[in-house]
Amino acid sequence: MASAAFFSTCLLANKNYLLLTSTPASAKGHINNLRVPNLPSIVLRTERFVRPRGFVAMGDEGVSKVSDGDSRMKIPHVLTVAGSDSGAGAGIQADLKACAARGVYCSTVITAVTAQNTVGVQGVSNVPEDFVAEQLKSVLSDMEVDVVKTGMLPSIGIVKILCKTLREFPVQALVVDPVMVSTSGDVLAGPSILSTFREVLLPMADIITPNLKEASALLNGMRLETVDDMRSAARLLHDMGPKNVLVKGGDLPDSSDAVDILYDGLNFYELCSPRIRTRNSHGTGCSLASCIAAELAKGYPVLSAVKVAKRYIETALGYSKEFGIGNGPQGPFDHLLRLKSHSQDCHRQRPFSPSDLFLYAVTDSRMNKRWGRSIADAVQAAIDGGATIVQLREKDAETKDFLESAKACLKICRSRGVPLLINDRVDVAIACDADGVHVGQSDMPARVARTLLGSEKIIGVSCKTPEQAQQAWVDGADYIGCGGVYPTNTKENNTTVGLDGLKTVCMASKLPVVAIGGIAMSNAHAVMEIGVPNLKGVAVVSALFDRECIQTETRKLHSVLLGSNVGGTRHVL
C-alpha cells in the first residue's frame, strides 16, 4: 500500500495532474485518509508547483480530500487579468479570442473598462481594487488555473493585490504583458506604476513581454532603435528578476521584418517573421501574450510557446489584412483565422439545403482516365449540365494529386454556387476547405467527422438500414445516401436495397435522402416516384461520367428529374 512519503514524493516529482487521475480506486481511498502535514509548506515553497487536480484543501491538515471530479478531463486554463476593450481588438476580449483559437479555456478578471475603438481610447474607468481582489479569489479558489496572464494593471494597488493573491494561490506560470500605452498612444497605466512593476511583479514572472516603448519606460527611457538595443534591453530587464524576457519589435522603425528578442538568462533568440502590411494590428501584444500563456498551460516550454505564439500572430495578421472594421487607423484582426477564405471567394459559401441533393454528381477517377479528362473538366461539365452538388470520389488518387484536383474543383464549384463534398477523406476536405464530406459505414464515423469539420460543413452518410439512418441523425449528419438501389459496377460487393429498402430508410429518418446505385436516365423517374417527402434527389456516377459528353447526359437527367415528383412536390428551379 502506498505511503504518505510515496505520495508526497510523487506530488513533487509529477508536477502535473496525472498522478491522481491514473491512481487506482483502491489507492484513492487511501489518499482520502492520508495526512501529509508538511505538504502546505512544500506547496508554497515550490515555485513551479502545480496544484494537483482534486486536492481541494491545502490547509494545516495537509491533503484532506480528493474530490469526486478527479476523473474529469483536464482542460488547460489561462486566467487573464486585464482591461476590457469595448472595440474588442485588444484587452480581455483579445485574450478570450486568442485562447479560444488555441483551444484553451480562459477565465477573466477585469481590472478596468475602457471606451475604445479603432480611433483610440476615449475613456478609462478602473474597477475598484477590492472588487479586483474579489474576482481573483472567485476564480483562483475554485478553478484549476494553470497560467495567469496579465495585461492592463492600471493602479499600484491592483498590482499589489494581484501579487498577494498569486502567493496565496500559486500557479504553474505567470506571463506579464506590462501594458502601459495603447497602440494609439493613449496611456493605460501611468509612469507611477513603473517602480511597482520592477519591484513586485517582474520578479514573479516566468516571462515578460514588453514592446519597445514599455521596455524603454521600464529602463528609465533607454533608447531602443535597433535589434542590438533590444538585446541590451532584454538583458537589463532580465536582471530585474523575470525568468524570461521577450522584447517585441512590432514598432521597430525601418524594419521589413517583425523581430522579437527572447532572452532566458543564458541565450538570446532572435524571432523573425515578415512584417505584414496591414492597419489591423491593434491587439497583437495582448494576443501574443495570451497565446504564450495558452501554450504554457498546455505544458510546452517557453521557447516553443513563444515561437508558436509569434507564428499565430503572423498568420492571423495575414488572414486579416483586408479585414475592415471601424474607420480609425488601428483595426482589430481576426483571431479565428476564418475570414481569408470568405473574402477570397467569389461566392460566399451558403448553408446546405436539402434541395441541393436534386442532381448529385459523383466523380470516378477510373472513368475520367478512360475518357482522358481531368477531374476538374468532368466537374465543370457536370455543373454546366445542371448538377446541383458534386462529390469527389477518388479512390486510387495519391493524396497530393487529390488535394490539387480538389482545390481546382472547389474553385469551379464556388464560382457556380454548387457545394463540393469529398468522399471519405476528411483530411482532404479540411485541407482544401471543401463544403463537406460523404462517409460510408466503414469510414470515419460521422460524429468524429463532425467534430473535426465543425458545425457548418455538410456531412452525408451512406445507409442501408433504418438503424443506420437513425444513427446518422444522432451523429449529426446532414443527409443520407441510400443504396445501392439497383446493381452497379461502380462499387464492388455492394448489396442492393431496391426501391423498398430505399423507402424504408427514408421513412426511418428525418434527414433528407439521396438515392444512389445504378441510377440512370431509364430508372430515375421510377426512383423519384416512390412518394416519400424526404427523398430529395438521385446520385449518379456512370450515367454521367462514363459517357462521351457529361454535360449532355447531365442535362438529360436533369429534365427527367424535373418531370418527377421530388420530395412530394414538383421541383421548381
Ligand X SMILES: Nc1ncnc2c1ncn2[C@@H]1O[C@H](COP(=O)(O)OP(=O)(O)O)[C@@H](O)[C@H]1O
Ligand Y SMILES: Cc1ncc(COP(=O)(O)O)c(N)n1
- Write out the residues near ligand Y by the rule CB under 6 A: 82-85, 90-91, 114, 116, 151-152, 179, 182-183, 188, 282-286
| Nearer Cβ to Mg ion (76/250) | 250
Alpha helices, DSSP H, located in 143-248: 156-168, 194-196, 212-218, 227-238
CB of 341 to ligand X, least distance (A): 20
DSSP state of 203: G
Q: Which residues lie below 8 Å from residue 214, measured CB to CB, with a gap of 6+? A: 178, 179, 180, 181
Residue 345 interacts with ligand X (CB under 6 A)? no
Residue 314 interacts with ligand X (CB under 6 A)? yes
Residue 80 interacts with ligand X (CB under 6 A)? no
Residue from the set 313, 511, 520, 560 that interacts with ligand X by CB under 6 A: 313
Pick the stretch among 61-69, 152-160, 279-287, 382-390 that binds ligand X (CB under 6 A).
279-287
**Looking at 425, 491, 536, 556, which residue is catalytic?**
491
Q: Name 391's bridge partners.
A: 362, 421
In angstroms, rounded to a whole number, what is the distance separating the alpha carbons of residues 489 and 230? 69
| Nearer Cβ to Mg ion (330/423) | 330
- Which DSSP helix (H) or strand (E) runs through 539? strand 535-540
Query: Nearest residue to Mg ion, using CB?
Result: 284
**Looking at 51, 102, 149, 393, which residue is catalytic?**
393
Look up cell 459528353; give the residue.
549
Size of the site for ligand X (CB under 6 A): 19
Pick the stretch among 147-155, 178-186, 201-209, 485-493 that binds Mg ion (CB under 5 A).
178-186
CB of 337 to ligand Y, least distance (A): 18
Residue 155 interacts with ligand X (CB under 6 A)? no
CB of 79 to ligand X, least distance (A): 20
**Looking at 216, 287, 462, 509, which residue is catalytic?**
462
Residue 288 interacts with ligand X (CB under 6 A)? yes
> What cell numbers appear for 452 in the block?
473535426
Neighbours of 525 (CB within 10 A): 14
CB of 186 to ligand Y, least distance (A): 7
| Nearer Cβ to ligand Y (63/82) | 82
Q: Are 163 and 148 in contact (CB under 8 A)?
A: no
Residue 211 interacts with ligand X (CB under 6 A)? yes
Q: Are 461 and 505 in contact (CB under 8 A)?
A: no
CB of 195 to ligand X, least distance (A): 21
| Nearer Cβ to ligand X (248/450) | 248
Residue 537 interacts with ligand X (CB under 6 A)? no
Q: Can 255 be counted among the known catalytic residues?
A: no
DSSP state of 66: B
Backbone angles phi, psi at 173, to 5 degrees: -155, 150
Residue from the set 284, 388, 488, 564 that interacts with Mg ion by CB under 5 A: 284
| Nearer Cβ to ligand Y (175/432) | 175
Q: Can 393 be counted among the known catalytic residues?
A: yes
In angstroms, rounded to a whole number, what is the distance separating the alpha carbons of residues 554 and 388? 10
Report how far Cα 235 is from the mean position of its chain's Cα atoms.
Answer: 35
- Which DSSP helix (H) or strand (E) runs through 556? helix 550-562
In angstroms, rounded to a whole number, what is the distance separating the alpha carbons of residues 227 and 253? 10
CB of 88 to Mg ion, least distance (A): 15
First-last CA distance in the chain? 75
Residue 248 interacts with ligand X (CB under 6 A)? yes
| Nearer Cβ to ligand Y (196/281) | 281
Q: Are 329 and 186 in contact (CB under 8 A)?
A: no
Q: Are 438 and 462 in contact (CB under 8 A)?
A: yes
Q: Name 175's bridge partners.
A: 149, 207
| Nearer Cβ to ligand Y (90/449) | 90
Residue from the set 150, 183, 363, 391 that interacts with Mg ion by CB under 5 A: 183
Binds 349: which of ligand X, ligand Y, Mg ion, none (CB < 5-8 Å by kind): none
Binds 102: which of ligand Y, Mg ion, ligand X, none (CB < 5-8 Å by kind): none
- What does the angle CA 233 – CA 238 – CA 240 come to, to the nearest 5 degrees? 105
Short-list 539, 533, 233, CA closest to 390: 539
Pick the stretch among 68-76, 237-245, 248-256, 438-446 that binds ligand X (CB under 6 A).
248-256
CA of 124: how far to CAs of 120, 127, 153, 184, in Å? Answer: 11, 10, 12, 14
Residue 276 interacts with ligand X (CB under 6 A)? yes
| Sign (positive or negative) of CA dihedral 206, 209, 210, 215 | positive
In angstroms, rounded to a whole number, what is the distance separating the alpha carbons of residues 204 and 289? 16
In the chain, how long is the greatest CA-to-CA distance?
86
Residue 23 interacts with ligand X (CB under 6 A)? no
Binds 310: which of ligand X, ligand Y, Mg ion, none (CB < 5-8 Å by kind): ligand X
Query: Nearest residue to ligand X, using CB?
Result: 285
Residue 471 interacts with ligand X (CB under 6 A)? no
Residue from the set 84, 107, 114, 281 that interacts with ligand X by CB under 6 A: 281
Q: Can 141 be counted among the known catalytic residues?
A: no
User: Is the peptide bond prior to 484 cis by the omega test (within 30 degrees of 0)?
Assistant: yes
Residue 280 interacts with ligand X (CB under 6 A)? no
Binds 114: which of ligand X, ligand Y, Mg ion, none (CB < 5-8 Å by kind): ligand Y
Q: Name 173's bridge partners.
A: 147
Residue numbers at the binding site for Mg ion (CB under 5 A): 183, 250, 284-285
| Catalytic annotation, residues | 393, 462, 491
Residue numbers at the binding site for ligand X (CB under 6 A): 183, 211, 248-251, 258, 260, 273, 275-276, 281, 284-285, 288, 310, 313-314, 317
